[in-house]
């Protein structure tokens, strides 16, 4: 899956009504990755924020050092660890 605003919209549309789902967003800020976890209850509001703040390529519109590099919907927060390990090898310090 390509990391685009369109694909994020699709992921949210598929998951915002499912209980027990989390949206995990991996944001590269300068030289580190920030992990943000949102519950499905506020995903539509979060999508509005993403549309205002990020362009189609997930680059922040006002902060060029901020970019969403990956996102996923998970049911178990333990899934975050494996994704983070992969991203840490792709975006080392």
Query: Helix, strand or coil for residue 57?
Result: coil
Within a domain: 52: yes
Quote the pTM value: 0.87
Residues 24-40: b if buried by 16+ CB within 10 A, e if exposed: bbbbbeeeebeeeebeb
Distance separating alpha carbons of residues 74 and 13, to the nearest angstrom:
14
- Tell me whether residue 92 is in a domain: no
Q: What's the pLDDT tens digit per position in 29-62?
A: 998 899 999 998 889 999 999 999 999 999 999 9
Structural domain containing residue 30: 5-86
What's the number of domains the chain is made of? Answer: 1
* Mean pLDDT over each residue of the chain, to the nearest integer: 91
Q: Which residues pair with 35 in a beta bridge?
A: 26
The pLDDT, as a whole number, for residue 72 is: 94
Q: What is the three-class DSSP state of 64?
A: coil
């Amino acid at each position: 899956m390509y990391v685009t605003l369109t694909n994020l919209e699709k992921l949210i549309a598929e998951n915002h009504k499912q209980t027990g789902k989390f949206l995990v967003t991996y944001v590269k800020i300068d030289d580190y990755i920030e992990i943000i976890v949102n519950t499905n209850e506020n995903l539509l509001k979060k999508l509005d924020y993403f549309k205002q703040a990020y362009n189609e390529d997930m680059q922040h519109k006002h902060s060029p050092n901020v970019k969403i590099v990956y996102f996923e919907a998970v049911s178990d927060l333990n899934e975050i660890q494996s994704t983070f390990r992969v991203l840490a090898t792709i975006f080392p310090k």
